[in-house]
Every structure is written in C-alpha cells, then in structure tokens.
C-alpha cells in the first residue's frame, strides 16, 4: 500500500491572506496536500505598486521558507509576475524549491489544451487589462477582452453573485467569435464556484489562475491526481507542457 502523501505548499499573496476569494482554495488541493498562506503586504491602491519588487519578494519568500517547512511555493497575483519578469525562476533559485506564478501557470494550462484564442475575464480596469492582453498577444494568443471594471480599488472584489458572473461570462463569450478557452486572471473575481458550470455550458476549458498554479507547482513535485468540480484542468490533471 502506498504511503499517504504529505506535502505542504506555501502561498504568498500580494496583500493579505484573509480576502474572501481565498475561502475555496483548500478545496482545490488533492488529499495529503496542506497550505500555509501569508500575505506579502505589497499591494497599495494600484497594481503598479507591485512593479520593481523582485528583491523584496525574494527576501520575503526566503523568510517565509525559513519559518515554514514547505515543499513548493505559489506566488499569487498576476501582476507580481507581469511587473517582475522571471520572478518565479528567481525565487525558485533563491529558495531551492519549485515556484509557480499566476500568468505563467495559466499560460501553461492554455497550452495543454491547445488554446490559440482566449476570452480574458478579469476584475481589473482597462489599463491593467491591457498589460495582460499585450503579454498574451506577445505569446501568440488571440485575445477577446471581457468588460473592464473601472474605479475599483486594487484587491477588491467585483460585487457579482456567482449567477451574475456566470451570466456575464456566457453573454461575453457569445459576443465574440468562439474562443478556444476562457481565462480568468484575478482571483478577486471569484470564478471558482462557476468553473465547472461554465465548462458544461460552453464546452471549452476554463482556466483560472489559482487552480492553474496548484496544478503547476504540484506537477513539478511529481503529483498526478484528480480534483473534481473545478473544471477539466484539475479533473484531468494533464502533464505540464510548453508553448
């Protein structure tokens, strides 16, 4: 009989660990995987506050690992990676553990499903959406942008119920040529409760940043499992590929 799995992951988020959208993250983890969550305290009124913070993030990651026994690390917040290119590699080299970031993990998942066109849904304003849009287009994706949320404080939610978010995504998806996948970037949009429902309705993979990061870092640790109810990525647990 195989020994029970005993893996601990660290999760460092840009602001604090007590945001409402984190309430479901433990449900994304396979059996035998535990999570230790702390905030970096780097996010102020704008996501641009995260720019140029590579050395600070590395130092905070080193301190976290010194205080907590973990096997891998997840750096949430898409702009941590976008505004600090290569931060996942730099942190991994500094702490000698696998590290996953939001956008790179989501891109890896989109590549697994051979998605060339994506509907990008975020809780951000148009200026912030443009940063992600440019990044994805630079990687060769065709991007359909969902609605922007202007005047929203960085790190706050979008004040939509799961049903309202579902209806918004379905309406937006049908407003463009059919995309190969839907990509949620920005966990404060809280898409986890509707991922499976959207896949059932629209028949395309739905990739969200938090599930993608857990799939990515656990795959680097040799885990192959299945977590149901949150879409194909965690349910099928495909092998991580490269674009």
Q: What is the pLDDT of residues 132-152, one digit of tens each?
A: 999 999 999 999 999 999 877
In this structure, are residues 131 and 159 in contact, taking their beta carbons and an 8 Å threshold? no
Instruction: Return the bridge partners of 182, or none.
Output: 119, 206
Burial of 180 (C-beta count, 10 Å sphere; 0-12/13-18/19+): middle
Is pLDDT at 22 greater than 60 in this prediction? yes
Which two structure tokens, joined as six digits, stand for 120?
A: 């990008």
Confidence of residue 109 (pLDDT cuts 50, 70, 90): very high
Q: Mean of the pLDDT values across residues 110-116?
A: 97
Claim: this prediction has a pTM higher than 0.85: yes
Q: Which of 20-24, 127-131, 173-177, 236-240 has the lowest mean pLDDT?
A: 20-24
Domains and CATH numbers, the chain: 7-101+209-236 (3.40.50.12500), 105-207 (3.40.50.12500)
Q: Which of 82-91, 154-163, 212-221 has the lowest mean pLDDT?
A: 154-163
Give how far Cα 242 sits from Cα of 31, 33, 46, 139, Å: 27, 25, 31, 12
pLDDT at 153: 67
End-to-end CA distance of the chain: 37
In this structure, are residues 205 and 182 in contact, taking their beta carbons and an 8 Å threshold? yes
Instruction: Return the bridge partners of 10, or none.
Output: 36, 73
What is the percentage of the chain residues whose pLDDT exceeds 70? 92
Q: Mean of the pLDDT values across residues 71-86?
A: 94
pLDDT at 48: 86
pLDDT at 159: 81
Phi-psi category of residue 140: left, alpha or beta, with phi > 0 → left and psi -120 to 50 → alpha: left
Q: Which of 10-24, 77-91, 144-158, 168-182 has the lowest mean pLDDT?
A: 10-24
Give how far Cα 94 sits from Cα of 3, 57, 213, 222, 234, Å: 30, 11, 19, 21, 28
pLDDT at 21: 56
Is pLDDT at 2 greater than 70 in this prediction? no
At which residue do the structure tokens 């990687």 appear? 139
Is pLDDT at 97 greater than 70 in this prediction? yes
């Amino acid at each position: 009989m195989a020994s029970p799995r005993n893996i601990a992951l660290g999760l460092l988020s840009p602001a604090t660990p007590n945001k409402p959208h984190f309430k479901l993250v433990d449900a994304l983890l396979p059996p035998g995987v535990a999570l230790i969550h702390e905030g970096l305290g780097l996010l102020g009124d704008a996501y641009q506050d995260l720019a140029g913070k590579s050395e600070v993030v590395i130092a905070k990651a080193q301190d976290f690992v010194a205080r907590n026994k973990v096997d891998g690390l997840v750096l949430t917040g898409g702009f941590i990676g976008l505004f600090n290119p290569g931060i996942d590699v730099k942190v991994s080299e500094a702490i000698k553990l696998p590290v996953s970031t939001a956008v790179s993990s989501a891109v890896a998942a989109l590549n697994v499903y051979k998605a060339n066109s994506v509907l990008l849904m975020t809780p951000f304003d148009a200026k912030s959406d443009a940063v992600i849009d440019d990044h994805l287009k630079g990687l060769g994706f065709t991007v359909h942008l969902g609605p922007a949320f202007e005047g929203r404080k960085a790190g706050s939610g979008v004040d939509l119920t799961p049903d309202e978010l579902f209806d918004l995504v379905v309406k937006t998806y049908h407003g463009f040529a059919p995309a190969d996948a839907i990509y949620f970037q920005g966990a404060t949009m809280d898409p986890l409760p509707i991922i499976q429902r959207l896949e059932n309705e629209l028949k395309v993979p739905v990739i969200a940043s938090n599930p993608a990061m857990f799939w990515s870092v656990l795959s680097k640790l040799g885990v192959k499992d299945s977590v149901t109810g949150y879409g194909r990525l965690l349910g099928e647990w495909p092998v991580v590929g490269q674009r």
